[in-house]
Structure 1
Amino acid sequence: MGVNLKNLSGNAREALLLTLVQQLYKDEITEGMLLKQLRKQVLGLTQEQYAALVGISRRTLSDIERDKAQLTLTVMNRVFRPLGLKVGLLPRSKALLQKLANNPGDTP
């Protein structure tokens, strides 16, 4: 999924963010994959640049992106904050999560 950031408008970046988060909800990608895609395609930053921005080591960022890190909620929130995301509660049931991902406006 190669995206040219120079041609990506604010609306296109938001649409990409929403698409990727929806893929996360549908269990099509992991949190690490989400972070990597957003870091590269929305912010256009290297691992070194992003790690410095959020105050972690490049190795820790690499571990997060490969889903190999054991993180606290504080670190998770710090890592996702520049992307406009925060860690939250989601249903464990795949059926409920699918329903949430497919119809977010229809939930009570």
Structure 2
Amino acid sequence: MRVVAWTRALLIQSAEQGLAEGTLQIGEAVRRLGVDATGVHQSQCARMCKISLRTLVHIEHGEGNQTLKSLNAVFRPFGLQMGVVKVRRSLN
């Protein structure tokens, strides 16, 4: 399945926003980017990110203790990287 460039850009932006707001978990973002934004299978996505399929599956399922290096490898093809964001505190 071929993904149109503007659709891909919207999917990446949506994942970025969801991660920054805390409404989207890392694993779900990775699944959305891998499947929806690229239209490739997991094995192809893992190759594209230069990580093992096992590592990709663990990231998608929130399993294991992933390194910053492997998380950045997954996000790099989409122009993203892990970072620090300010936590919004609710006023009670």
TM range (shorter): 0.7 to 0.9
Select 1:94's aligned residue among 75, 88, 91: 88
Contact 2:34 2:40 in 1 (8 A): yes
Structure 2: gaps of 5 or more residues: none
**Is 2:49 the counterpart of 1:54?**
yes
Matched pairs, number = 90
Distance 1:25 1:87 in 2: 10
Select 1:15's aligned residue among 10, 13, 20: 10
1:101 is matched with none
Q: TM-score, normalised by structure 1?
A: 0.72
Quick check: which one's helix share is greater? 1
Instruction: Output the aligned Cα RMSD.
Output: 1.9
Structure 1: gaps of 5 or more residues: 97-108
Contact 2:31 2:60 in 1 (8 A): yes
2:67 is matched with 72
Identity among equivalent pairs (%): 30
- Higher radius of gyration, 1 or 2: 1
- Counterpart residue identity of residue 58, structure 2: D
Deviation of 1:45 (Å): 1.3
Distance 1:20 1:77 in 2: 14
Q: TM-score, normalised by structure 2?
A: 0.82
Select 1:82's aligned residue among 69, 77, 81: 77
DSSP 3-state at the match of 1:94: coil
